[in-house]
Amino acid sequence: METIGLHEADEDFIREVEERSGQALSRCYQCGNCTAGCPMSFTYDYPVSRLMRFIQAGRKDLVLSARTIWMCASCETCSERCPNKIDVAGVVEACRHMACRAGKDGVYAVKTFWDAFVLSVNQHGRAHEAGLLAMYMFRTGRFWTDVDLAPKMLPKGKIAILPHRIQGRREVAEIFRRFREGAADEEAVRSRLAAERRDDVVAAYSGEGCP
Amino acid sequence: MRIGVFICHCGSNIAGTVDCASVAEQAAAFPDVVFSTDTLYACSEPGQDAIIEAIKEHRLTGVVVASCTPRMHEPTFRRAVERAGLNRYLFEMANIREHVSWIGKDMQANTNKSAELVRMAVAKLRLNTELKPKFFPVTKRVLVIGGGVAGIQAALDAADAGLEVVMVEREPSIGGKMAKLDKTFPTVDCSSCILGPRMVDVAQHPNITLHAASEVEAVSGYVGNFEVTIRKKSTCVDWSKCTGCGLCTEKCPAKKSYDRFNEGMGHTSAIVIPFPQAIPKKAGIEKEHCRLFRTGKCGVCAKICPTGAVDYAMRDQIVSVKVGGIVAATGYDLMDWTVYEEYGGGRYPDVITSLQYERLLSASGPTGGHVKRPSDGREPQSVVFIQCVGSRDCSVDRPYCSGFCCMYTAKQAILTKDHLPDSQSYVFYMDIRSPGKGYDEFTRRVQEEYRARYIRGRVSLVYPKGDKLMVRGADTLMGTQVEVEADLVVLAVGGEAARGAPHLAEKLRISYDAYGFFMEGHPKLKPVETNTAGVFLAGSCQGLKDIPSSVAQGSAAAAKVIGLLSRDMLESDPQIAQVNAGRCIGCGKCISVCPFKAIQETEARGLPKVEVIETVCQGCGVCNATCPQGAIQLSHFTDNQILAEVEALCRF
């Protein structure tokens, strides 16, 4: 095992995770309750409490390349049980976003599903399940995953062949356009986020006792 | 007046951000100031000597020291000017440390503000007058509230020193939480064997009067002369007749009543003697379980009692007592752990609290000391202990460490192995906190000798599986989820301030923190005093602590009370309200606002007036602010003195 230089902690990374998630990471005292309750832990490379520790230690590459951040189901059991009221699932989500921006591959199947979902909402104003599944299957080659469910779901209207034509599709598309334009300027987004959330982070830090 | 001004550097505390020499220079020009200087440490011996020298050399009649908060050193400097022959009230203090140097970095602004504060102090001092304290006699009796181990220690120490002691205990027996414990750490000696003799001492000590099943109803008066009203709650048994024979408890038909002493681990009768070693060993009826009170039909205990002590119509009694000092030793209660839904929220009978487990371990408990699961009475093979339940947990607003759970959990794991040699204990902990004499060795012994498995991590879920419980937690040292099958789960539930503690604090006029624990006078230097003179603290009511610390604090509180009441007379503070009878119109507004009932109506030449009861007045000044005539004035803080300060500040 390698020796980790503590002075090599990436302080900017720690700060960015705090800003994006709005959580004060120093509140984590490593009790392990997030790991204890996590139903997806068996799929992880690092348990979530160790991921929190890696973030505290500023291990950017390790965190953003972790399988854990992609396999998290965002069930929020960790956030619910945290004795320090840290939204752990929110921290993991922030890491997932940062991994995307950093151009990390992530776990291909999971990332592909997310991308397909977002694209579907962009095009139709809401998820079009059939199209989204088709895209997911086509891109991942997993043609038989859950196909057995289709005969049950189709007659109940759970999956529609054609997309629903909802109101406000154009407005949703507009949100995506604005995001893409803003997102091109990574620095602007970061400073805007910082300006919005710094208060939360500062407030979370400053109180004695409980926030 | 000839005023001397001394500007303290306090090392670099003040001089670091205030130009002390410049402040002294400016002060020299203030009215009546005849001498002004700066000094390195005014409170040091040479510093005080310099003040005394200056008073003599320059024939000073008033002194201003600009330094720290008066809370710390006002008494120091008052004594110094007194040594030089001045009245102690011809002294004023300007706080240029807490109010200036520690809170600002701008040297120029700080220097200006310091000069302003000195100018105000000088302006007030010019109107100061000599004040002389009066002396009043003290009542050499002490009230101890709470009969746990801390209260018992305080009561015995005070009584042994010759003071009369009145002890008030809410429960029907003294002994507190310690009486419920099976053994104590780190010696594993029997709790009731070491506490029992002390409880008997309390009962038999000629100087101690015990009021069990009683509560403090009201407190008035002041240090040396408190007037305390005690409500002796009706137990429906005349304790002067009850011999504690226990016949009534045997014949009582309501055998399925909740057993409060055993934390609900067994059942008891509705008329009950809490436990064999109870002091006083008297029976009492728990009305919510009694058949007579619930259905109107029974009366068995009254028929069976050989002394005719049972009296269903008995009422609460009110007793009044005068005391000179008060020790609050009200202890703690366990927090309500059922907020933890993930541990079953109280639905699983085999998930119990550590205090309930003590009763299962105890030979005087409901199982006679045989460890049996509450659900089916089987002996558990696998016992899981979960620490920090309701401690160090912001999500339930209990961020503090309860301090004793690590140790009693280790003790219970040892006792489990003693009782059930084939059993295996698992302890989920976050950090082991064992900073006491022999404590850490004890937590090592439970792991090395008694083979308890310690797992560093919290538990996220307890769920039933067949007739067992599955406990899912984390082992953060392995970095993985872990699961263990348990027959019995013991929650190391943290403590919180005793039920009703804030309410009592308000009666005693002492402060309490956000969690209901009583505030000590100073976190380091006044650990058993409060900010109310004559009221002292002992034990967990001040903050959770284990038995040795509680006993130490009990003795410390007793020492303070003994010191206070060793004097025959106490000095009254002359900074109290005074009435100018000529201006008083007898409207009585001051009487209605006075929180100490220190003002009473009187008459002068047929006109209604008021007068101040000097020993009762605490000098709060509410009457002064209320009086429409400016007739009632607080000595040393008169309207004129305060206006002089305002004028000194607002002269531009």
What is A9-52 written as a DSSP string?
Answer: --HHHHHHHHHHHT--GGG-----HHHHH-TTGGG-SS-HHHHH
Average pLDDT score over residue span B621-627: 94
The answer to whether B291 and B191 have CB atoms below 8 angstroms apart is: no
The reply to whether domains B3-125 and B333-496 share a CATH topology is no
**B203-220: per-residue pLDDT in tens?**
999 999 999 999 999 998
The average confidence (pLDDT) of chain B is: 95
Average pLDDT score over residue span A29-44: 95
Q: H or E stretch including B608?
A: strand B607-612
Burial class (CB in 10 A: 0-12, 13-18, 19+), B12: exposed
**B79-117: per-residue pLDDT in tens?**
999 999 999 999 999 999 999 999 999 999 999 999 999
Which SS3 state, helix, strand or coil, does residue B378 take? coil
Q: Do A33 and B461 touch (CB under 8 A)?
A: no
pTM recorded for the entire structure: 0.86
Q: Which fold has domain B3-125?
A: Rossmann fold (3.40.50)
Q: H or E stretch including B36?
A: strand B33-39
- Measured CA to CA, the distance from residue A12 to residue B84 in angstroms comes to 63
| Widest pairwise Cα distance in chain B | 91
Strands B424-429 and B382-389: parallel
The domain locations on chain A are 7-104, 108-182
Q: Which of A34, A36, A84 sits opposite B472 (nearest CB)?
A: A36
Strands B468-475 and B480-486: antiparallel
Looking at residue A189, its pLDDT comes to 61
Average pLDDT score over residue span B329-349: 96
The answer to whether A128 and A134 have CB atoms below 8 angstroms apart is: no
Residues 6+ positions from B524 with CB-CB distance below 8 Å: none
Looking at residue A187, its pLDDT comes to 64
Average pLDDT score over residue span B390-394: 95
**A106-122: per-residue pLDDT in tens?**
899 999 998 899 999 99
Q: Which of B395, B458, B479 sits opposite A85 (nearest CB)?
A: B395
Q: Do A49 and B392 touch (CB under 8 A)?
A: no
Nearest to B189 by CA among B554, B547, B552: B547
Q: How far off is chain A from B470, nearest CA to CA, in Å?
A: 13
Q: Which of residues 187-216 of B touch A (CB under 8 A)?
A: none
Q: Which CATH superfamily does the domain covering B333-496 fall into? A: FAD/NAD(P)-binding domain (3.50.50.60)
Q: Which of B388, B394, B460 sits opposite A210 (nearest CB)?
A: B394
Q: Which residues in chain A are closer than 8 Å to B514, comparing Cβ atoms?
A: 209
Nearest to B580 by CA among B539, B611, B535, B601: B611
Q: Does B388 touch chain A (CB under 8 A)?
A: yes
The domain locations on chain B are 3-125, 143-233+316-331+500-565, 247-304, 333-496, 577-635
Q: Do B460 and A36 touch (CB under 8 A)?
A: yes
Strands B189-190 and B183-184: antiparallel
For the packed helices B20-27 and B107-125, what is the interaxial angle rounded to 10 degrees?
A: 40
Burial class (CB in 10 A: 0-12, 13-18, 19+), B4: buried
Q: How far off is chain A from B441, nearest CA to CA, in Å?
A: 24
Comparing A143-147, B146-150, B282-286, B294-298, the range with the smallest average pLDDT is: A143-147
Average pLDDT score over residue span B274-300: 94
Looking at residue A206, its pLDDT comes to 44
* Angle formed at CA A27 by CA A23 and CA A32, multiple of 5 degrees: 105
Burial class (CB in 10 A: 0-12, 13-18, 19+), B155: buried
- Measured CA to CA, the distance from residue A63 to residue B40 in angstroms comes to 55
Which residue of chain A is at minimal alpha-carbon distance from B343?
A81
- Measured CA to CA, the distance from residue B223 to residue B327 in angstroms comes to 12
The answer to whether B6 and B37 have CB atoms below 8 angstroms apart is: yes
Which residue of chain A is at minimal alpha-carbon distance from B479?
A47
Q: Which of B342, B396, B476 sits opposite A49 (nearest CB)?
A: B476
- Measured CA to CA, the distance from residue B562 to residue B327 in angstroms comes to 11
Q: Do A33 and B458 touch (CB under 8 A)?
A: yes
Burial class (CB in 10 A: 0-12, 13-18, 19+), B606: exposed
Q: How far off is chain B from A168, nearest CA to CA, in Å?
A: 40
Domain over B143-233+316-331+500-565 is classified CATH 3.30.70.2860: no
Query: Is it the case that residue B497 has pLDDT exceeding 80?
Result: yes
CA trace torsion B400, B403, B405, B408 (10° rounding): -170
B186 cis-preceded (ω within 30 degrees of 0): yes
The residues of A whose Cβ lies within 8 A of any Cβ of B are 27, 29-38, 41-42, 46-47, 49-50, 77, 81-85, 209-211
What is the CATH class of B577-635? alpha beta
The answer to whether A69 and A51 have CB atoms below 8 angstroms apart is: yes
Cβ-Cβ pairs closer than 8 A, A with B, add up to 80
- Measured CA to CA, the distance from residue B330 to residue B203 in angstroms comes to 19
The answer to whether B5 and B33 have CB atoms below 8 angstroms apart is: yes
Amino acid of residue B22: S
Query: Is it the case that residue B313 has pLDDT exceeding 80?
Result: yes
Looking at residue A207, its pLDDT comes to 43
CA trace torsion A136, A142, A147, A149 (10° rounding): -70
Looking at residue A192, its pLDDT comes to 65
Q: Do A211 and B394 touch (CB under 8 A)?
A: yes
Query: Is it the case that residue A205 has pLDDT exceeding 60?
Result: no
Strands B607-612 and B599-604: antiparallel
The answer to whether A48 and A40 have CB atoms below 8 angstroms apart is: no
- Measured CA to CA, the distance from residue A81 to residue B393 in angstroms comes to 10
Q: Which residues in chain A are closer than 8 Å to B388, comparing Cβ atoms?
A: 31, 83
Q: Does B485 touch chain A (CB under 8 A)?
A: no
Q: Does B341 touch chain A (CB under 8 A)?
A: no
* Angle formed at CA B110 by CA B109 and CA B112, multiple of 5 degrees: 65
Nearest to B248 by CA among B312, B168, B166: B312
Q: Do B392 and A85 touch (CB under 8 A)?
A: no
Query: Is it the case that residue A201 has pLDDT exceeding 60?
Result: no
